[in-house]
Amino acid sequence: MRRSAKIMIAGMAASLVLAGCGTDDPDGPDTDPGTDPGTSEVKVGLAYDVGGRGDQSFNDAAAAGLDRAIADFGVDSTESSAIDGEPESAREERLIQLADAGFNPVIGVGFAYAGAVAKVAPQFPDTQFGLIDSTDAMGDNIANLVFPEHEGSFLVGAAAALKSETGKIGFIGGVNVPLIAKFEAGYAAGALAVNPDIEIESTYLTQPPDFSGFGDPAKGRTAAEGQFDAGADVVYHAAGGSGLGVFQAADTAGGLAIGVDSDQYHTVPSELQDVILTSMLKQVDVAVYDYIKSFIDGSPLSGEVVFGLEAGGVDYSTSGGLVDDIADQLDEFKRQIIAGEITVPDSM
């Protein structure tokens, strides 16, 4: 690396440290005072699920967390991405390659890596594995970074019921897997908490092992049109890239739609922003960042780590202002869930 670039990165890192109020120990990660303060010995390996960096959704959130870690700690990193329809062995191979090459920690982004992590982690006891969205692989060197998606979905379900004029709302899941059923269960519970008579239409775009339902906007649009035609006026999607079709259908039908994972008000084309009531935020970036930070701090997270409502791991978004008038009610629900007064079911 050239000196000027080094200085620039050091400066960037320093300014981030100064600007960010969370980091109170800027010298922590550096062992050798001779090098610039922005680099670290840590090499992070990140294995994305299908879609990879740039999917404007789940994987991009993980990438954002990694980017923050690179900026703050100067970690070295490599990224690799799953291909649609690849066999299980390809995921194992990917993790083995990363671990073999000395990357530590290795992070599997998405529940699809559970089987691979369960198999590979015992072979590399000195490597730390982070697994997002799954507790199916447990071990001393595995951290299960999970989110109570059902609790976040409860809030947007309540928002949908509060905003619905027809008494009918919709849910579109990308692929019929337990993780997505968790979204549906929370959504339904939230809607029923507001209006016990509400009707909920539910559609899954594909069945496993066909995971194309997370990346086929045409399917999302057809399914959402069906629900709007059937009288629904708010539709929540947990369908990754297919969600764009849901927003288009909402635009045509004059209805509202709810985004997922990131604040989709900021990711959709501007002419579709009007239809986005809110988004169920899932801070995958926070999980990735915190996990890398814990490793650098010398006490890597392990076991099940829940990024919940209280910590802001899941939440609802307010961009666009459509939920401003019901924010009080939603925050009251949020308080009750955190306080344990409401228990949200996590399966249908």
Strands 276-282 and 314-316, bridge-based pairing: antiparallel
Q: From the list 86, 88, 140, 210, which residue makes contact with another protein (rule: CB under 8 A)?
A: 210
Give the x-and-dash track for 238-277 against another protein (CB under 8 A). ---x--xx--x---x--------------x-x--------
| Residue 203 engages another protein in binding (rule: CB under 8 A) | yes
Nearer to another protein, 121 or 205 (CB): 205
Please work out the total of residues on this chain that contact another protein, with binding judged by CB under 8 A.
Answer: 39
Q: How far is the CB of 201 from another protein (least distance, A)?
A: 7
Question: Residue 51: left (phi > 0), alpha (psi -120 to 50), or beta?
Answer: left
**106 phi and psi angles, rounded to 5 deg:** -110, 130
Question: CA–CA separation, 182 vs 209, rounded Å?
Answer: 18
222 binds another protein (CB under 8 A): yes
Interface pattern 82-121 for another protein (x via CB under 8 A): --xx------------------------------------
127 near another protein, rule: CB under 8 A: no
345: nearest Cα among 227, 187, 195, 138: 187
- Residue 123, both tokens: 């072979």
Is 218 a binding residue for another protein by CB under 8 A? The answer is yes
Nearer to another protein, 241 or 255 (CB): 241
Please spell the DSSP secondary structure of 58-98, one letter per residue: HHHHHHHHHHHHHHHH--EEEEEE--TT--HHHHHHHHHHH
- Write out the H or E segment, with its range, that includes residue 305: strand 303-306
Using DSSP, state whether 209 is helix, strand or coil.
coil
Q: What part of residues 32-91 is at the interface with another protein (CB under 8 A)?
A: 50-56, 60, 84-85
Please name the residues in contact with 4: beta carbons below 8 A apart, sequence gap of 6 or more: none
- Please state, in angstroms and rounded to a whole number, the distance separating the CA atoms of residues 76 and 289: 14
What mask, x for binding another protein by CB under 8 A, covers residues 148 to 177? Answer: ----------------------------x-
Dist. CA 136–CA 113, nearest whole Å: 10
Minimum gap (Å) between residue 83 Cβ and another protein:
8
Q: Please identify which residue in 88, 100, 140, 229 interacts with another protein, judged by CB under 8 A.
A: 229
In the complex, minimum distance from the CB of residue 235 to another protein, in angstroms, rounded to a whole number: 12
Instruction: Note the residues at the interface with another protein (CB under 8 A).
Output: 50-56, 60, 84-85, 176, 201, 203-207, 210, 212, 215-219, 221-223, 225-227, 229-230, 241, 244-245, 248, 252, 267, 269
